[in-house]
């Protein structure tokens, strides 16, 4: 699951910066996602989240609904990015920043996609192997979830960030039959009316 809407009045790319928690709407979105998963009527055996404030806060409704305390896993964190704290529209018109765009397939402005995919795969696989007869909820971030989707689908990691299918508090579901990850569902259970989603790396 992706975290809910972040309180980001400056519309900056927040990345791993501290102090970016959920907005009131973000808390509502996280609860809607937890209620959606509860409505699937499947056992949930464990809860994992990244160490960032917005994912910790997004995991709280799952603690309330399922009675699970989250395990913090650094491997499902937001990638690093040189544009943290900046408004992207302004940053991209500054020629000084263009050097960071020289290899978009990596990408050259942050943690390589291949590294994000590898750490997400390790975290997911470990959680899958440790699950005791139930599903695992991992609360993460847009880019890690999206590049995991691309890798599982056999697609190139290079992509246009504006075209990601990973809305706030969306749920992307995977299974590992026969030792290979398979994506089985995508859902957007939260109401996104009026939501602001501009801070993802």
| Confidence grade of residue 201 (pLDDT, cut at 50, 70, 90) | confident
**What strands lie across the sheet with 135-139, from one edge to the other?**
71-72, 44-49, 135-139
Distance of alpha carbon 39 from alpha carbon 2, whole angstroms: 18
What per-residue confidence (pLDDT) applies to 60?
Answer: 98
Tokens 């398979």 map to which residue?
182
Domains of the chain, start order: 24-187 (3.40.50.1240)
Each residue's pLDDT tens digit, 140-192? 999 999 999 999 999 999 999 889 999 999 999 999 988 999 999 999 999 99
Q: What value does the mean pLDDT take over residues 113-121?
A: 98
Q: Are 62 and 68 in contact (CB under 8 A)?
A: yes
pLDDT > 70: percent of the chain: 100
Contact indicator for 127, 181 with CB cutoff of 8 Å: no
Distance CA 166, CA 186 (A): 9
Instruction: Say how far apart CA 105 and CA 101 lie, in whole Å.
Output: 9
Mean pLDDT of 66-84: 96
- Helix/strand/coil for 56: helix
Cα separation, 22 vs 97, in Å, equals 29
Give the confidence band of 88 by pLDDT, cuts at 50, 70, 90. Answer: confident
- Say whether pLDDT at 26 is over 90: yes
Pairing of strands 182-187, 135-139: unpaired
Question: What distance in Å separates the CA atoms of residue 95 and residue 76, rounded to the nearest whole number?
Answer: 32
SS3 199: coil
- Do residues 141 and 169 lie in contact, with contact meaning Cβ atoms separated by under 8 Å? no
CA distance 142 to 58: 13
pLDDT at 115: 98
Q: What is the pLDDT of residue 93?
A: 85
């Amino acid at each position: 699951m992706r975290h809910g809407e972040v309180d980001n009045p400056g519309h900056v790319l927040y990345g791993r910066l501290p102090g970016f928690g959920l907005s009131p709407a973000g808390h509502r979105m996280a609860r809607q996602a937890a209620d959606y998963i509860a409505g699937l009527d499947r056992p949930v055996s464990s809860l994992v989240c990244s160490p960032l404030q917005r994912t910790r806060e997004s995991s709280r409704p799952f603690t309330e609904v399922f009675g699970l305390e989250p395990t913090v896993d650094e491997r499902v964190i937001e990638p690093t990015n040189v544009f943290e704290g900046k408004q992207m529209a302004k940053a991209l018109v500054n020629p000084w920043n263009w050097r960071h765009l020289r290899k978009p397939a990596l990408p050259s402005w942050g943690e390589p996609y291949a590294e994000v995919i590898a750490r997400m795969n390790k975290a997911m696989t470990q959680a899958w192997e440790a699950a005791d007869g139930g599903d695992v909820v991992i609360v993460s971030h847009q880019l890690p979830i999206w590049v995991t989707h691309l890798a599982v689908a056999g697609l190139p990691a290079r992509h246009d960030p504006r075209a990601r299918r990973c809305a706030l508090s969306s749920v992307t579901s995977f299974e590992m039959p026969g030792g290979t990850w398979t994506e089985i569902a995508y859902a957007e259970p939260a109401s996104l009316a009026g939501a602001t989603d501009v801070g993802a790396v």
